Structure 1
Amino acid sequence: MKKLILITLLVSFSMSSFAQRNSRANNDWYVSLGVNAINSLGTQSPFNSPSDWAFHSPISAAIEYNWSDQFAIEQSITFNGFTEDHVIDGVNLEEDYSYLSLDTNMKFYFDQYIFPNFNWIELHANAGVGFFHVDETNISANIGGGALFWLNGNRTFGLRVQTTGKFAFNHPESGFDNNHFQHHLQVVFKL
């Protein structure tokens, strides 16, 4: 896992020296609000059994700062919950549980390498760390990606889809606070 993150960061930094982003400027701020769903079914597939994902009070919010043309940092907070008879890692719950997550992620925007002439879409990869709580508290290493679709010509209002895999540090002893995937659908505003 550490080698994968290191290789991803090295490739990202080397690629940033070859191209300039024309879609974002340095020092841009963005805020996003939306919903999230949690896949904590104990599978390695982020898209396994969508009908069983947690979607109880699924609020998510984030603020993002671009310090360069391709790199940004995002701080997010998400709320969700698991209701009685929901399944977490193969266990049927006997009571309701609330979910809270605070995540700090670095983002690398790479859409200009794939779609250099498309000004209405931005693709990113993200990696970082998170704090989350279901029954206990745990820290996670996060890795994921997403797409932002701009809905106006000024690129001040858009819609983002994003998926993040969260790998718990205390995975063997963590009970419900374990590895999971989190999916977001958010409205994004440029400040």
Structure 2
Amino acid sequence: LGDCAALINNAGLLRPGSLDSVSLDDWNAVLGVNLTGYLLCSRAFKPQLARTRGALVHVASISANFPQSHSGAYSAGKAGVLLMSRQMAVEWGPLGIRSNAICPGMIRTALSARFYEEPGFEEKRAQVTASRRIGEPQDIADVALFLASPRSGYMNGAELAVDGGMSSMLMDMVPRPGYNKT
């Protein structure tokens, strides 16, 4: 086996709770998986990535930029991933290591599967994306592959939203008489 040329940090743990009600144990568990785990894996692979002039790809979330009520630990952890990714770009970039992040939107995963069991739920969610669909894991994998490849060789410290255009829909959700049906 040769050296590692790319590491994709992709983990997510969600423990519901607002900032004033989430237990400290749940807070630490979420940050342990969603942030500290990324740091530990990145450190472990840093020597190999430096030898191969490799790439780190960190899967964060649009919740890192758009907080969601009752998900305080999750949003905070994923926001930490974004800053940590940029910090790694600054500190490890001179070693030839690129560090970039992906911010997925609504992707059908094991974490969200039960939501889609409710009748009409998928359609409601799809309506808040410009693409009018829910993402699939392959949508994220394709972007991760790009960021891990030489095709993104001059990208370092970047954050890509892969959300079907959901983050562009904010103003379309604001009621405007005569312009929309919101």
**TM-score normalised by L of structure 1:** 0.22
Q: Which structure dedicates a bigger proportion of its chain to strand? A: 1
Relative contact order (alpha carbons < 8 A, sep ≥ 6): 1 or 2 greater? 2
**Please, what TM-score do these two structures have when normalized by structure 2?**
0.23
Greater share of helix: 2
